[in-house]
Amino acid sequence: MRLPLSWLAEWVDIPWDAAELARRLTAAGFEVEGSEPDGDDVVLTLKTYANRGDSMSVLGVAREVAALTGGKVRVPAAPAVAVDAALTAAAKVETPQAAPRLLVRRIAGLANRGATPPWVQERLRRAGLRSISPVVDVTNYVLLELGQPMHAYDACRLRGALAVRLARAGEILSLLDERRIALAADELVIADESGPIGLAGIMGGQGTAIAADVTDVLLEVAFFAPDAIAGRARRHNISTDASQRFERGVDPEGQSRAMERATALLLRLCGGTAGPVLEITARAELPARAPVVLRRQRLASLVGAQIADARIGHCLTGLGMQVGSHPLGWEVRPPSWRFDIAIEADLIEEVLRLVGFDAVPEQPRRLPQRFAAHSESRLDERALLDALTARGYHEVISYAFVDPALQGRLFPQQEPIRLANPIAADLAVMRVSLWPGLLKAARENLARQQQRVRLVERAAVFLPEAGRIHEVPRIAGIVIGARAPEQWAASRDAVDFFDLKGDVTALLQLAGAGVEFEWRTGGPACLHPGRAATVYRGGAAVGWLGELHPSMATELALEAPCLLFELDISTAMAAPLPQLQAVSRYPQVRRDLSITVPLETPLSAIFSRVTVAAGSRLRELVAFDVYQGPGIEPTRKSIAFGLIFQDNNTTLTDADADALMASVAADLGAHLDARIR
C-alpha cells in the first residue's frame, strides 16, 4: 500500500520525519518496503500482512501512529446531508450469513463529466491509482481513506431492486475489465432482475458501469464475510483493492461512516441530491469480538520482562481496545476492526510491539532438558535417510500440495483432498503419494543436465477416509540414469528394477533380522506391468516399487527409465524388540540346490517353503542364479540358491545336512512343482 504522508497528517499528528516514522512503524511490526519523495510530499510503501486488513487505509495507519505516540485520531467531520425522501432505493439480501450488512443510497442530478479536483487526483496518483471520473474517484478515495470498499452503479440501467445472492447455474457476468466469466454456485454476486451485475466484493459488471454522462447513481456499501470472498478473485485470475480488503476483513461497523463520507464528497464535487440510506443488517451474523483475558503472569513469562500495569493498559487502550480488570490481569475486548485478536498470545504480541522489542533485556535462561520417550519398536526415521544417502540418494523436501493433473494420471482411482484456496492452479490438491513431488524434482534436475538422479523424500501423504483426513508418514525415492557414477572402471549401464529392489531391501533390513517381507508382482497402474512389485508384511501391502509406465514416461518427456518406490513407514518399518541369541560355537555347513519351477512362481514362495522345511537349523538362504533359456523348458525357470545350516548344540554331519536337503527338495516338489536339476 502506498501512503502519502500529507494525507496521513490530516488524520493524526506525526512528530517524526519520514525516516523516523518508517523506523517506528517497522519496530511496531509493519514492513516498510520503501520511502520516496513526491513533490512536496513523501510516499511510504507498506506491506500489509494477511491478518492486518485493518491497516490497509489511511485511517488504519493513523490508528497505529496514534497508539505509538499516545495521540488521537482526527476523523474528518461528515455532516448530515439534506435528504430527498423521494429518491428511495430498493435492495434485499438473500444470503445474510455472507453479507450481514448492506447499505444503499440513491443520488440524483450528478455532474460526472467534469474533471475531478486536482487535490483528489493527486492523492489518488500518489497512492497508486489513476483518476477516472469524479464518481469513481470518490469511491476509490473513500476506499483508501477508510479501508471500506464501495461501488457505484448507474441507477438508470438497474432493473428493479438490488439483490445480494449466490450465483445460479449457468450465469455469466461481464466484468468492468470486459472479461466474461462463468459463475460458480459458491460465488456471491450483486444482481438485479436482469441477472448478475457484479461479483460481490471483487469487481462490478459492465452492464451498470459508471459512464461520463451518468446523472443518477446508486451507492452500495456492504460488509461481506471474509470466507464468502476469499479465493473467488484468484479463481478468475483477478486481484482488486476491494477483494484484498474483504478477504482480510473490513470493519463491520464502518459502512455507515463510509456511506456518509462518500455522499458528502460526491455532493461537494458533483452536486446533486441524496436520498435516504436503506440499511439491511443481520445483527446475529455480524462478527462478535469476544473478550480475551490477559494474564499478568503469562505476559511476564513470555515477554521476559516486567512491564508496568499502567503502560500495558495504555498500550491496549491506545489500540482502541476496551480494557477492564480481571483477577489474573485484564479482560480486553478488541475493537470491531481487529479481526486478528482472538487469544491471549495476540494481546501479548500487541503489548510487546508497542512497548518495543528492544525494551526486553537479553539474558540467558536455564531450561530443563526433556527428552521425548522413544520406543525401541519404532525405527529412527533418520536411519532410513542415512541408509539411502549412503547409497547415493539426495534428500528433497517438496510441497504437500501437488498438481491435480499429474496426480490424477498417476492415481486415477484415488480421490484427492482439494484445497479451498490454492496458491496456484498446479498446487490445488493434497498429495496421496510422494511420487508427484519426486517426479517434478527429477524433471527439474534433468532439465539442468543432471543425467544421474537419485532422490528420496520422507514426508506425510493425506488420504481421505470416512470423512476424515489421515496423515500417513511415508518414504519414497526416484532413480534415473546410470547404475554407477561415471568412471573408467564401471560400465554406463542404466539402472534397472533389481537395482532399485536392492535399495529397498537395504531399507527393509533395518526393521530387523526376524521381520519377513513378501514380494509380489504388480503394483499401481502407473508402473510398468512387468517391472513392478508390491511389498507385503504380515499379509498387508506396505509399499510399491517399479519402473514408471512407458506411456507416463513419454508424457513427462523422460527418455531414460524412471524407477520409483514408496513405503509406509509406520507399518513397513515397525521393528520388533531385539532378542538376545547365543552365538553357536559349532561350524556352519553349506549346501547348494538348483531347481526348476514354473515361470509364475515367485522367489518369495520358494524361500517360504524352504524356511518351513529346513526348520530352525537354517541360518541363511541366498539365491545366486536365475536362468531361462536353452536346456530349460520354455514354461519353467531355473533357480540356484545356497542353504547355510548350523546347530547351537552339536556339529552337523554330512548325513544331517543331506537329510535337511532331502526334506527341502521333497517339500518344494510337493508344493511348488519343483524339479531338481
Compute the mean pLDDT over every residue in the chain, rounded to the nearest whole number.
Answer: 91
Q: Would the pLDDT of 375 be above 80?
A: no
Residue 220 reports pLDDT greater than 80: yes
Q: Which residues pair with 401 in a beta bridge?
A: 430
pLDDT of 381: 82
420 confidence band (pLDDT: 50, 70, 90): confident
Residue range 163-187: mean pLDDT, rounded: 92
Looking at residue 386, what is its pLDDT? 92
What radius of gyration, in Å, describes the C-alpha atoms of the chain? 36
- pLDDT tens digits along 222-244: 999 999 999 899 889 998 999 99
Higher per-residue confidence, 301 vs 109: 109
Return the number of other C-beta atoms located less than 10 Å from residue 90's C-beta: 14
Which residue stretches of 331-411 are H helix? 344-355, 381-390, 404-410
Query: Which of the four pLDDT bands, split at 50, 70 and 90, describes residue 80?
Result: confident
3-state DSSP assignment of residue 347: helix
Using the CB atoms, write b or e for 125-155: b if 16+ within 10 Å.
bbbebebebbbbbbbbbbbbbbbbbbbbbbb
Residue carrying the nine cell digits 520422507? 458
In the prediction, which pLDDT does 454 show? 95
Candidates 226, 290, 217; CA nearest to 252 is: 226
Task: Tell me the mean pLDDT in the region 494-503.
Answer: 91
CATH code for the part of the protein at 589-676:
3.30.70.380
How do residues 563-577 score in pLDDT, each as one tens digit?
Answer: 999 999 988 888 887
Name residue, grid cell 519520514.
Answer: 18
CA 257 to chain CA centroid, nearest Å: 37
Picking from 202, 209, 208, 174, the residue whose alpha carbon sits closest to that of residue 188 is 202
Residue 75 CA, chain-centre distance (Å), reads: 39
> Is the Cβ–Cβ distance between 511 and 466 less than 8 Å?
no
Residues 472-497 as b/e (b if ≥16 CB within 10 A, e otherwise) read: eebbbbbbbbeeeeeeeeeeeeebeb
The whole-number pLDDT of residue 243 equals: 93
Which tens digit of pLDDT belongs to each residue from 267-289? 999 999 999 999 999 999 999 89
- The label of the residue with cell 513533490 reads 39
What is the band of 103 on the pLDDT scale with cuts at 50, 70, 90?
Answer: very high
pLDDT category, 421, cuts 50, 70, 90?
confident
Q: Which residues contact 294 (CB under 8 A, 6 or more apart)?
A: 312, 316, 326, 329, 330, 331, 332, 344, 347, 348, 351
C-alpha distances (whole Å) from 489 to each of 391, 392, 486, 493, 529 are: 18, 18, 9, 12, 34
Q: What is the predicted pLDDT for the residue at 545? A: 95
pLDDT, position 382: 87
pLDDT of residue 360: 76
Query: Residue 508 corresponds to which amino acid?
Result: L
CATH code: domain 292-359 is 3.30.56.10
The answer to whether residue 50 scores a pLDDT higher than 90 is no
| pLDDT of amino acid 423 | 85
Q: What is the mean pLDDT of residues 548-561?
A: 91
**Structural contact between residues 139 and 151, judged by C-beta atoms closer than 8 angstroms:** yes
φ/ψ of residue 42, rounded to 5: -130, 135
φ, ψ of residue 643 to 5 degrees: the values are -115, 130
User: Does the domain formed by 2-69 have CATH 3.30.56.10?
Assistant: yes
Is the pLDDT score of 559 beyond 90?
A: no
Measured in residues, the chain has a length of: 677
Least confident piece of the model among 31-45, 53-67, 362-376: 362-376
Same fold, 91-285 and 381-572: no
**Residue 543 predicted with pLDDT over 90:** yes
What are the pLDDT digits (tens) for 279-328? 999 999 999 899 999 999 999 888 877 888 999 999 999 999 999 999 99
Exposed e or buried b per residue across 408-421, where buried means at least 16 C-beta atoms within 10 angstroms of its C-beta: ebbbeeeebeeeee
Residue type, 122: E
d(CA 34, CA 52): 19
Per-residue pLDDT, averaged over 426-446, amounts to: 93
Res. 639 pLDDT band, cuts 50 70 90: very high
Band (pLDDT 50/70/90 cuts) for residue 27 is: confident
Residue 373 burial by CB count (10 A; 0-12/13-18/19+): exposed, middle or buried? exposed
* CATH number of this structure's domain 381-572: 3.30.930.10
Enumerate the β-bridge partners of residue 565. Answer: 477, 545
Residue with cell 492523492: 123
- Asked if pLDDT for residue 193 goes beyond 90, the answer is yes
**CATH number, domain 91-285, options 3.40.1390.20, 3.20.20.20, 3.50.40.10, 3.40.50.300:** 3.50.40.10
Work out the percent of the chain whose per-residue pLDDT is above 90: 71
- Closest listed residue to residue 635, CA positions, set 663, 600, 677: 600
Task: Taking each helix axis as running N to C, give the angle between helix 118-126 and helix 134-146, from 0 to 180 degrees, rounded to the nearest 10.
Answer: 50
Taking residues 374-382, report their average pLDDT: 78
Residues 272, 87: contact at Cβ < 8 Å? no
DSSP helix/strand/coil, 469: strand
Residues near 629 by Cβ (< 8 Å), separated by ≥ 6? none
Locate the domains of the chain by residue range.
Answer: 2-69, 91-285, 292-359, 381-572, 589-676
How many angstroms separate the CA atoms of 575 and 555, rounded?
39
Provide the angle, in degrees to the nearest 10, between the axes of the packed helices 309-318 and 58-69.
160
How much is the pLDDT for 30?
86
